[in-house]
Amino acid sequence: MEERVALIAIYPGSFDPLTNGHLDVIERGRKIFDYLIVGVLKNPHKQPLFTSEERKTMIEEAVKPFSNVEVEIFDGLLVNFARQKGCRVILRGLRAISDYEYETQIALINRKMAPELETLFLPTSTEFSYLNSTIVKEIASFGGCVRGLVPPVVERRLKGKFNSRSIPGSSPDF
C-alpha cells in the first residue's frame, strides 16, 4: 500500500493589506489541503503601504486559529518558491471574470515553467466579491470605516498608518 503524501498548497499574493476576501480563501483552502502556505510576495516593482514583514505579521495574527496554515515571505518566481516548499498546488482566489482572464494567463505561464504544479481557482464567497486591497486602502486613507472588510489586526494597522493623515472634518469611524 502506498503511503499518502501530504498535499501542500501555496496561496500567493501581495496582501497589501489582507482583506476578509483573502481570509475567506485561506479558511476554505486550509480545509481542502493538508497544509497551506500563504506566500507574501516581496515585489521590488511595487511600493506597498505595508512592508512585507508587517503584512506577514498581520496575516499570522489573522490565521492564528488555523494550525495547518503558515505564512512566509518570498521574492522571485512563484514556481521556484513552490518547488522549494514542496507544494503541488497553487491556490488562487477569484472575484470576477476579469480576475479569471488574468489568473488563467498566469496559470498557463506557471504550467509552462513548472508542469508538475497545478493551479486551483477558488471563487471568493459572494459577500466578498467586490472587495480588494486597493479599495480598502482608499477607504482608510479618507478616514472611512473598514470594519467588516478586513480582520481586526489590519483595521488597527490601517488606522495607525492613516491616523496622522486624517482629513479635517471627517469622522474616522474605525
Please indicate, yes or no, if residue 172 is contained in any of the structural domains. no
The residue segments making up the domain with residue 72 are: 8-129
pTM: predicted TM-score of the whole model, two decimal places: 0.90
Tens digit of each residue's pLDDT, the chain (174 residues)? 678 888 999 999 999 999 999 999 999 999 999 999 999 999 888 899 999 999 999 999 999 999 999 999 999 999 999 999 999 999 999 988 778 989 999 999 999 999 999 999 999 999 998 999 999 999 999 999 999 999 999 999 999 998 855 444 444 444
Q: Residue 22's domain is classified under what CATH number?
A: 3.40.50.620
What pLDDT shows up at residue 28?
A: 97
Cβ 122 vs Cβ 93: under 8 Å:
yes
Q: Which three cell numbers stand for residue 142?
A: 479618507
Please indicate, yes or no, if residue 67 is contained in any of the structural domains. yes
Which residues participate in catalysis according to the annotation? 22, 46, 95, 133
Please indicate, yes or no, if residue 53 is contained in any of the structural domains. yes
Question: Which contacts (CB < 8 Å, 24+ apart) does range 161-170 have?
Answer: 161/49, 161/50, 165/141, 167/142, 167/143, 170/142, 170/143
Please indicate, yes or no, if residue 139 is contained in any of the structural domains. no
Count of the separate structural domains present in the chain: 1
